[in-house]
Amino acid sequence: MTEAYTLHEDPRSGNCYKIKLTAALLGLPLATKQYDILQGETRTPDFLANVNANGRIPVLEIESDQPTRFLPESNAACWYLASAANGENALIPQDSFAQADMLRWMFFEQYNHEPNIATLRFWLHFVGEANLSDQQRAQMMAKRIAGCDALKIMDDHLSRRNWMVGKGATLADIALFAYTHVAEEGGFGLGDYPAIEAWLGRIRALPGFIPMA
Amino acid sequence: MTEAYTLHEDPRSGNCYKIKLTAALLGLPLATKQYDILQGETRTPDFLANVNANGRIPVLEIESDQPTRFLPESNAACWYLASAANGENALIPQDSFAQADMLRWMFFEQYNHEPNIATLRFWLHFVGEANLSDQQRAQMMAKRIAGCDALKIMDDHLSRRNWMVGKGATLADIALFAYTHVAEEGGFGLGDYPAIEAWLGRIRALPGFIPMA
């Protein structure tokens, strides 16, 4: 039996979009099941017990001849799909250093980029500035600075190369594309980062590319 | 030529310790070069230009017959060493799902665990509570709650198995061990997490284990 994939997702989430974009670029069918994170739909007892004890989407559900498996963490799910596809366009380089360097940028994405750029986008674009708590408001400036730092590091890196790692698109590009291309919804102007803007265009031109919902 | 490894590190950092523990468990020689992060030694123009533009340690320096390469991000460096060692004890499972599930816990570590548990340890144990800024102080409660949540997820998971993934130690255990075993320095009592305490003992008993400096 070939595997069948279902993504548990909120379509507004860039972390979920990464997985959909990976599947699209690989030509893999991917069903989806939607949740509204603003309504707490990923914190229900059923979700915590059966999908992800961490109460977060995305989660990739994998059906095969084994018992159904659930894989949380967006970048791990992208890894699984690309390693399962395992072909010429697998989006994971074969060279050991390039593979580790790709993971390096995916960890950078989760540590330096997402908590700043995705969080400010979520607060400003979906929650609304007027609805933020004092504690959230107190963190905005630190997240603004750290997000700009992350974009600057990417822009410097991309000013000398076309892709984050090696000579073609990898999961590092997909992971970083997800929240970078909507960074303006978090108040990050991309006009200051010309190498990023050119790279966004290269990703949009990849065969099989799909836009975020 | 075999490869030679040098770790750019601050010995107080659990992220650096992960890489030293990985090398020790694999039996790989690893030289070290020390920096004092409290003195800003990883933010000098030389470090930013030649070691890591992100101004952070750890960075794994790799010498071989190619030009010297630098690999930032602790979990990526652990991946590189284990994939280079590539033997029976390579700490990376061969099965595709187990490999992705290992990466899932390593992303969890960088997103849910490290920014809370390691940051509170750094603030309380090294910077000192009296020296914290108002902005840092305002984040302490949120980090305390999120850190306890991460420990609870680990403890529930480990109450049903001996290792984070599969039937033996992997990089997921090493990554999570680093800051969990010193969580009390950040004010997180481990007495509430008996499955974690038993797992810490299993890791300390691994052949080749070395303690944090």
| Cβ(A208)–Cβ(A25) below 8 Å | yes
pLDDT score for A138: 87
Which residues on A lie below 8 Å from B101 (Cβ)? 71, 76
Confidence of residue A213 (pLDDT cuts 50, 70, 90): confident
Give the mean model confidence (pLDDT) for residues A44-49: 95
* ipTM of this complex prediction, to 2 decimal places: 0.96
The domain B4-85: what is its CATH number? 3.40.30.10
Minimum mean pLDDT among A67-76, A145-154, B132-141: which range?
B132-141
Q: How far is CA B68 from the centre of its chain?
A: 23
Residue A6 is given by DSSP the state E
- How are the residues of chain B apportioned to helix, strand and coil, as percentages rounded to the nearest 5? 55, 10, 35
pLDDT score for A86: 66
pLDDT greater than 60 at residue A51: yes
Q: Return the residue in B91, B104, B112 with the most chain A beta carbons within 10 A, the one to mutate for interface testing.
A: B104
CB contact under 8 A, A79 and B99: yes
How far apart CA B138 and CA A138 sit, in angstroms, is 8
| Angstroms from B3 CA to nearest CA on chain A | 12
Which residues on A lie below 8 Å from B100 (Cβ)? 71, 76-77, 79-80, 83
* Closest chain B residue to the Cα of A68, Cα to Cα: B97
Please tell me the total number of residues recorded for chain B in this structure.
Answer: 213
How far apart CA B114 and CA B176 sit, in angstroms, is 9
pLDDT score for B2: 84
Structure tokens at B43: 């933010």
pLDDT score for B90: 82
Instruction: For chain B, give the percent of residues with pLDDT over 70.
Output: 98
pLDDT in tens, B14-63: 999 999 999 999 999 999 999 999 999 999 999 999 999 999 999 999 99
CB-closest option in B73, B84, B99 to A108: B73
Is-same-fold flag (A4-85; A96-204)?
no
Give the mean model confidence (pLDDT) for residues B117-133: 97
| Angstroms from A81 CA to nearest CA on chain B | 9
pLDDT greater than 60 at residue B1: no
Strand partners of residue B70: B61
Q: Where are the domains of chain B?
A: 4-85, 96-204
Confidence of residue B89 (pLDDT cuts 50, 70, 90): low
CB contact under 8 A, A103 and B103: yes
CB-closest option in A83, A111, A139 to B99: A83
pLDDT greater than 90 at residue B86: no
Q: Classify B96-204 by CATH class.
A: mainly alpha
pLDDT in tens, A162-173: 999 999 999 999
| Cβ(B105)–Cβ(A110) below 8 Å | no
